[in-house]
Structure 1
């Protein structure tokens, strides 16, 4: 392995380039894994703060792994915290709408069914599918983000799509 030109990432310009490179994708991955209620963007910011605080210890080669691991651990801690919070409070849903009751019911049924089918997908299929269909990432970009080959990324996306189509086809 060639020796790195830089020992750490404490340079402001290098750090800002790392932020531009990884922040959005990391935020999206956390969003897909954990949902928007846990504020994945905040966790990404906190991960970058931790990276800056430990910039002398982190090499450029390990930066991506450090960020992803740190942000994921923060999300897991938040999930644990939310479990405690939900035990002590009841979340009251919005009780009014301008839509017809029939439409609201069908929408809820479809959303629940879609989420159920999406949750039954393998984690790697779900991540690849959402990166492609929601973020508009190419197969090559997904392969790079997830550390897999382009063919594996394509297979995961198509497998997820096929499962979703099969499971949701009966609703039409």
Structure 2
């Protein structure tokens, strides 16, 4: 991959990578950091990445970076919770539909969350998702089915509470 191909990849995929990261992380600064880190890694690995596989490589790298980011953040959050265990928050919030769906998504395992976001929010097909996440099309379909069922169940349980 040369400089021109790298610049074309940045122009073509930065917006979609940012959108994917933003939906996953729910924070624009964190999403921007992930996208920047992914393109930095692409530049460092440009000689190893084939130009026709750039899209898959970028989304795979972003997915892995977000998983690592979430793990790191949850460890830090756990430590904060242990230190401030005396503080209790009220859980009486009214949620709009978007917030409810985001809450449901946040409770999915990372692989299912990624597949839902890539398929339903970004519009990728099963093969593209499989390439990005290094899964077979059959695995993508199974994970997507399970994720949608979990969300349906959560929404069903929520309507019972209301």
Within 5 A, what are the aligned runs for 1:47-66? 47-49=38-40, 51-52=42-43, 54=44, 58-61=47-50, 64=57
Contact kept in structure 2, 1:140 and 1:150, CA below 8 Å: yes
Contact kept in structure 1, 2:130 and 2:136, CA below 8 Å: yes
Separation of aligned partners in 2, 1:113 and 1:50: 32
Match of 1:125 among 109, 112, 124: 112
1:137 is matched with 124
Match of 2:65 among 54, 72, 86: 72
**Which segments of 5 or more consecutive residues in structure 2 lack a partner in the other structure?**
81-92
Contact kept in structure 1, 2:113 and 2:147, CA below 8 Å: yes
Separation of aligned partners in 1, 2:137 and 2:97: 35
Give CA deviations for 1:110-138 in whole Å, capped at 9, x if unaligned: 835750x3222211111101111111222
Separation of aligned partners in 1, 2:28 and 2:6: 28
1:27 is paired with a residue whose SS is helix
1:102 is matched with none
* Gap change, CA 1:165 and 1:127, over 3 Å in 2: same
CA RMSD of aligned residues (A): 4.2
The yes-or-no answer on 1:15 pairing with 2:6 is yes
**Which segments of 5 or more consecutive residues in structure 1 lack a partner in the other structure?**
1-8, 88-104
Query: TM-score when scaled to structure 1?
Result: 0.58
* Gap change, CA 1:141 and 1:25, over 3 Å in 2: farther
Contact kept in structure 2, 1:139 and 1:153, CA below 8 Å: yes
Separation of aligned partners in 2, 1:110 and 1:23: 24
1:60 is paired with a residue whose SS is coil
Separation of aligned partners in 1, 2:145 and 2:11: 29
- For these two proteins, the number of residue pairs brought into alignment is 142
1:111 is matched with 99
2:27 is matched with 36
